[in-house]
Amino acid sequence: MKQAEEAIVSSFNETELDGGGKEEVTAEEQPIFSVKSVLWHGGSAYDAWFSCASNQAEGVQHSGPKKLVLYFTGATNILYTFGGHAVTVEIMHAMWKPQKFKYIYLLATLYVFTLTLPSASAVYWAFGDQLLTHANAFALLPKNGWRDTAVILMLIHQFITFGFACTPLYFVWEKVIGMHDTRSLCMRALARLPVVIPIWFLAIIFPFFGPINSAVGALLVSFTVYIIPALAHMLTYRKATSRKVKIATNNLSLLWPKKSENKVEICA
């Protein structure tokens, strides 16, 4: 249990590090733009603003939900529109310099607002009540090359998001089976298959868009993003001895910084 809690608490910090938890590059050496970040953020921006480029459908109506399922659909859309769950990943970059946390959080929130609020408002204005029965707004947009590009970018975005979201679970599983310190990327990839395959299997069984997704999203987003990580942190460092050890370790790492000599191997 202790290993699992520590893995969850440290998962975001270890995302940018190698398998042994040693820092390969410092905060100053972190690239501002990478293929991953360009596809993830650029794809989101393209999808958001492309969805604004639509004329209003003929005879469109705007009314509230009349069924419990539709209420959960609306609740999910509100959660996703305000994008609090997406902001959390951005906070990871502020952890290199914690004193900048509040500024990074504010800027990340404003950035997400520029994506979610205009697109959500524009799509609702254009299609109205049709969105109550079409949770995937791409199905209502005109079929052309621009729409297809948006769908492809969204799929890439989802693959990257899947990697981010599963990172804590990967680390917990790797530590349980004793593979977390392995330097071979191939071995770690194979070790993660028991985690990935069941998730993909469940994703195929249950609909990506629909009542189940809406209910789960509306009820569990806050728990999985904020409440559970906060509880894991409090449980891990609930004792004074645990907090003292953590503080002492951090202070020593500041006094005697070490460069990692471990190199990640592609396959071994």
* pLDDT for 22: 44
Q: What is the dihedral of CA 80, 85, 90, 94, to 10 degrees?
A: 140
3-class DSSP assignment, residue 92: helix
The per-residue pLDDT for 54 is 66
Position 1 scores a pLDDT of: 39
52 in a structural domain: yes
Alpha helices in 64-210 (DSSP H): 68-82, 84-94, 101-127, 145-177, 185-205
Q: Is residue 267 part of a domain?
A: no
Sort 48 into a burial class: Cβ within 10 Å, 0-12 / 13-18 / 19+.
buried
The answer to whether residue 192 is domain-embedded is: yes
- Residue 9 has what pLDDT? 40
Note whether residue 222 is domain-resident: yes
Residue type, 105: Y
In a domain, 262, yes or no: no
223-251: burial string, b at 16+ Cβ within 10 Å, e else: eebeeebeebeeebbeeeeeeeeeeeeee
N residues, the chain: 268
What DSSP assignment string belongs to 124-144? HHHHGGGGGT-S-GGGTS--S
- Inter-residue contact 222 to 230 (CB < 8 Å): no
Q: How far apart are CA 257 and CA 259, in angstroms?
A: 7
Q: Which residue has the tokens 């990697």?
A: 163
Question: Is residue 160 included in any domain, yes or no?
Answer: yes
User: Tokens 């004329």 label which residue?
Assistant: 55
User: What is the C-alpha separation between 48 and 149, in angstroms, rounded?
Assistant: 12
Q: Which domain holds residue 34?
A: 2-255
**In a structure prediction context, what are the per-residue pLDDT tens digits for the chain, which is 268 residues long?**
334 334 434 444 444 444 444 444 444 445 555 665 655 556 666 666 666 666 777 788 888 777 777 777 777 767 666 655 556 665 666 567 777 777 777 887 787 777 777 887 888 888 888 887 776 788 888 888 888 888 888 888 888 878 877 888 888 899 999 888 888 888 988 999 999 999 888 877 776 666 676 666 666 666 766 678 788 888 888 888 777 765 555 554 544 455 544 555 555 5
Q: Give the dihedral sign, CA 123/127/128/129.
A: negative
Structure tokens at 202: 């469940």
Which pLDDT does position 240 carry in this prediction?
Answer: 80
Domain count, the chain: 1
In DSSP terms, 184 is beta-bridged to 265
Residue type, 227: I
Asked if the structure places residue 264 within a domain, the reply is no
Inside any domain, residue 263: no
